[in-house]
Structure 1
Amino acid sequence: SEQAKAVIVATGSTPRRAGFKGEDEFFGKGVSTCATCDGFFYKNKEVAVLGGGDTAVEEALYLANICSKVYLVHRRDEFRAAPTTVEKARKNEKIEFITSATVKEALGDNTGLTKIVLDTKNGERVLDVPGIFTFVGLNVNNEILKDENGKFICEMADGGQVKTNLKMQTSLKGLFVAGDIREDAPKQVIVAAGDGAVAALSAMSYIESLH
């Protein structure tokens, strides 16, 4: 059987589910994983953001420009996000921090989400919000890059992403990646499309170099 001279892998990533009751039921109807995609639906409304990393805090700041109030819910007291970003969020009057708290349940009706129930250190708390944005990490779809022994065939970065150069070339000659699967990907469709174009041109150049 013939083998490919170059391969481009663009399998993307999947947002992790937070795991609270009602999350799947209201996904796309109040539960979102992309503030830049869905933020404008909540103009001048109150929303919640779940998470404690850079993405969660940065998206809370972004939403504060659109929404009337943003509740930033985090299961710990300390944030993994950059201290300067956290400080900027703390100074924003529209953002209320709710720490040592988890989302217990999302509730709503046939129109979508209407409220979320939190478990906090001070007991149960209900937030009347039509939207919650969850940023609890991504699962990179990298299984295809493992050999029969379960080892990766190219050099990987932290978080299961692939190390590449600016040409989208991996450490394995002839193997290129594009989109969320690569290291430092901004997780935006327009960037992934650009990655794909770069990877395609690089793959063509690589094949030409073999002749």
Structure 2
Amino acid sequence: MTLLSESEQRQVAAAIERIERETDAELVTVLAARADDYTYISLLWAGLLALLLPGSLNLIGGWLGAGHLLLAQWTTFILASLLFRLPAITTRLIPRPIRHWRAGNLARRQFIELGLHHTEAQSGMLIFVAEAERYVEILVDRGISSRLDDAAWQAIVEAFTAQVKRGETLQGFLSCIEACGALLKEHLPATHERNELPDRLVILS
């Protein structure tokens, strides 16, 4: 999975800078290749396959002795573990609620770790994307949530999610930042110049 190039990252940073000149919000963007490596999921599926497949073949054919059955199970487990570690396959093995739960947890950790809850006007805003999970979330601090209900971001998140699914992550960021900026300029216009947090796109590879 290819994350945004340096040139594309600069486009995101420039979009953030434009919005922050016209609003009191402190906007940070985070792009994660994936929210988790899901090793436990790969091992779980490999273990189930190793238990079921050789045993099923043995029941049907009755040709495997105990030693050969054990060897077949270990071989199946090792091969399946390697196969299921491929990101394109791993993602499809994980139920959507689990993928979104892990991505949501990572988004909240990033909100805290990047200091979005410590801005002067409590106006931190995080636009978070986990590409493998096709997950987008917008998190805001109290200075913004007191003026804009969370429902205000829903349509923006849905549009961005659709773009991520189509592989249009850069355009998704730019459109999302512009749409958020329009709301912020109306409800949280700039009162003075500030730039407490970096404008760059944070990449979690």
Q: TM-score normalised to the size of structure 2? A: 0.31
Larger Rg: 2
More helix by share: 2
Q: TM-score normalised to the size of structure 1? A: 0.30
Higher relative contact order (CA 8 A, sep 6+): 2
